[in-house]
Copies of this chain bind each other. A is one copy, B any other.
Amino acid sequence: MIKASVIGGTGYAGQELIRILMRHPEVEVVTIGTRSFSGQKFSDVYGNFEAVTDLVCEATDIKVLAEKSDVVFLALPHGIASKTVTAGVLEKTKVIDLGADFRLKDIDVYEDWYKTEHFNHPLLNEAVYGLCELHREEIKKARLISNPGCYTTCSILSLAPLLKNNLIDTSSIIVDAKSGVTGAGRGTITELMYSECNETIKAYKIGSHRHTPEIEQELRLLNGQDFNILFTPHLVPMNRGILALSYAKLTADLSLEEVKVIYKDFYHDEYFVRILENRMPETRWVKGTNYCDIGLTIDPRTNHVIVVGAIDNLIKGAAGQAVQNMNICFGLAEKTGIDFIADFPI
């Protein structure tokens, strides 16, 4: 059994991760770390764990956890992991970081978008970007995995085949993404109160969301070119799910069928990417799962290709992909413990 600990276990992503790990056949959850609820039974913080676990939240330290864990997951606000993860820690345990600290390879880009200094250049170089479908071989050997953001995962998987194959005008890429409210976390701010986000929709941080450079970094890697994208997130009145529409001008003269073939080839062996034939993705079909659903269309009137991607922001966009990374890293079958079918209607 893999001994796993989670730091930041009482946020939405951390809690989702613990739920998955507790039903994973090869994992034992040894410690739930959290400062805010230290000393409380985890099942008192989250009622879904009633009678499931007696674990008590602990205000613990990654160094301590490294001694008794085969893997430590971090689900923390940015700026903490880069200070606490050290080479010493990585000699004792694998670390899978769900936060942003090790995602951006260019420190200037990180510091520019996050408005904070980065204190750990060496580990930034070592960290592997944990988008499983694109970096599987590196993940296998990694000690420190930086789990991608939710919008990021959906956007990159949506656009990767187009960029890899040089099929679009890179100056024309727009990603218009919509997220459920859990994507904003559990912080008690007015904007996230029930009656403030129920029955309304808004766009926010248009062109300025921190997932933008992360998407650009990975798309440029695939394509070799330097370009910017325009990324817009929205807050949608639902708990879960991301739907991202990616727009780009086609440079190649391709039929919809040809584009679909390219996508199916690109994701041929990927269990968690479903290229849809007869319908467009909807978040309900991936909710509670680790799937990324992708649908494609071409608008001949404006010569655009439109890619529709859908994921569960807390699973493929966070906890599920973190476990997928763990599975890869520990040599398990990649779908172990995360082979969910969406529960519907839920």
Interface, chain A (partner B; CB < 8 A): 12, 15-16, 19, 22-23, 44, 46-52, 171-172, 174, 176, 178, 180-182, 186, 188-190, 192-204, 206-207, 228-230, 232, 234, 236-241, 243, 245, 247, 274, 276, 278-285, 287-289, 291, 293, 297, 299, 301-302, 304, 306, 308, 339, 341-346
Which B-chain residue is minimally distant from A188 (CB atoms)? B188
Taking a contact as CB atoms closer than 8 A, the residue among B46, B201, B239 that contacts A241 in the complex is B201
Known: A50-B293, A229-B302. A202 touches B282 (CB 8 A): yes
Known: A228-B301, A301-B230. A284 touches B343 (CB 8 A): no
Extra contacts, 20 of them, besides A188-B193, A207-B301 (Cβ < 8 A), are A15-B344, A16-B344, A44-B279, A51-B274, A174-B174, A176-B245, A178-B178, A178-B201, A188-B189, A194-B237, A194-B239, A202-B282, A206-B245, A207-B306, A228-B301, A230-B306, A232-B306, A240-B346, A343-B343, A343-B346
Query: Are B341 and A23 neighbours in the complex by a CB distance under 8 Å?
Result: yes
Which B-chain residue is minimally distant from A308 (CB atoms)? B203
Query: Are B288 and A200 neighbours in the complex by a CB distance under 8 Å?
Result: no
Query: Are A19 and B343 neighbours in the complex by a CB distance under 8 Å?
Result: yes
Query: Are B239 and A49 neighbours in the complex by a CB distance under 8 Å?
Result: no
Query: Are A341 and B52 neighbours in the complex by a CB distance under 8 Å?
Result: yes
- Complex interface: chain B residues within 8 A of A276 (CB): 50
- Complex interface: chain B residues within 8 A of A243 (CB): 201-203, 234
Known: A201-B282, A306-B206. A16 touches B343 (CB 8 A): yes
- Complex interface: chain B residues within 8 A of A51 (CB): 274, 291
Known: A341-B22, A341-B23, A343-B16. A199 touches B240 (CB 8 A): yes
